[in-house]
Amino acid sequence: MPVPAPSPESSAVVTGASQGIGEALAAELAARGHNLIITARREDVLHEVAARLTERYGVTVEVRAVDLADPAERARLADELATRDISILCANAGTATFGPLSRLDPAAEKAQVQLNVLGVHDLVLAVLPGMLARKAGGILISGSAAGNSPIPNNATYAATKAFANTFSESLRGELRGTGVHVTLLAPGPVRTEIPEPGEASLVDRLIPDFLWISVEHTAQLSLDGLERNKMRVVPGLTSKAMSVASGYAPRSIVTPIVGTVYKKLGGD
């Protein structure tokens, strides 16, 4: 059975929907007729997104302002989702830090693990029983090409995305034949906004304009991939090249090279 068609009773959930890939996923789901529950921390921004999508596509959009790095807030959202008819979960919210772990803020590193790992795991655990009972559902997990191999100076992020990548692809294998699709979105760099002149990051400067892919294109490919129960969506040439390099080149060679690039991203 395909991922559930939109219905008045069901909703698709997008975490990290206040900007970037999450906002684009919410817009693409709304364009495909799904009612939505959108979450992030900034409630005012979420309400602006919700109003825009309702006006443009006529769908119902509920806003949940939740800090997914906070166990109590996360549990409240998970408890609600477990009681709702959730057709699609896009577990997308995530953050990254750059630089040597010993120099980063320990609290922010711990919050990153809570968000990138448990923000995915807890919500999947919440919606999965209902999807299995209905024999229909779609789970899209935003991992990363960064989760394919070790990345010095990006250790917490790379490790949390290794969790997301492996969890998504493992779960998909378990759910074959149940009607529940699971797809991993594992991009390399996706341009969430065009940098102002003079404010381009190292990554912006390293990757020429024609190799960047947009959040809108990423969202379309991801949801098309979920419909087909694709194991992994890797959008764009840069992402594909990163995935091939990390998949086939020996870790002992790739790791120091990548670590040097990420050291610069950390400001060194």
Ligand X SMILES: NC(=O)c1ccc[n+]([C@@H]2O[C@H](COP(=O)([O-])OP(=O)(O)OC[C@H]3O[C@@H](n4cnc5c(N)ncnc54)[C@H](OP(=O)(O)O)[C@@H]3O)[C@@H](O)[C@H]2O)c1
Instruction: Give residues in contact with ligand X (CB under 6 A).
Output: 16-22, 40-42, 45, 66-69, 92-96, 115, 142, 144, 187, 189-190, 192
Place of tokens 């979960």: 89
Q: How far is the CB of 166 from ligand X (least distance, A)?
A: 15
CA–CA distance, 115 with 103 (Å, rounded to integer):
20
17 versus 86: smaller Cβ distance to ligand X = 17
CA–CA distance, 211 with 195 (Å, rounded to integer):
15
Up-side HSE of residue 84: CA atoms within 13 Å toward CB?
A: 23
Concatenated DSSP letters for 116-166?
Answer: IIIHHHHHHHHHHHHHHHHT-EEEEEE--GGGSS--TT-HHHHHHHHHHHH
CA–CA distance, 206 with 200 (Å, rounded to integer):
10
38 versus 136: smaller Cβ distance to ligand X = 38
Parallel, antiparallel, or unpaired for β 11-15 and 86-91? Answer: parallel
22 versus 138: smaller Cβ distance to ligand X = 22
Task: Note whether 78 and 125 are within 8 A (CB).
Answer: yes
44 versus 55: smaller Cβ distance to ligand X = 44
Task: Note whether 235 and 190 are within 8 A (CB).
Answer: yes
User: How many other CB atoms are found less than 10 A from the CB of residue 113?
Assistant: 16
Q: How far is the CB of 143 from ligand X (least distance, A)?
A: 7
136 versus 140: smaller Cβ distance to ligand X = 140
Judge whether 157 counts as a catalytic residue: yes
Q: How far is the CB of 9 from ligand X (least distance, A)?
A: 26
CA–CA distance, 99 with 154 (Å, rounded to integer):
6
Instruction: Give the residue from 62, 114, 109 showing the smallest Cα distance to 93.
Output: 114
Residues labelled catalytic:
157
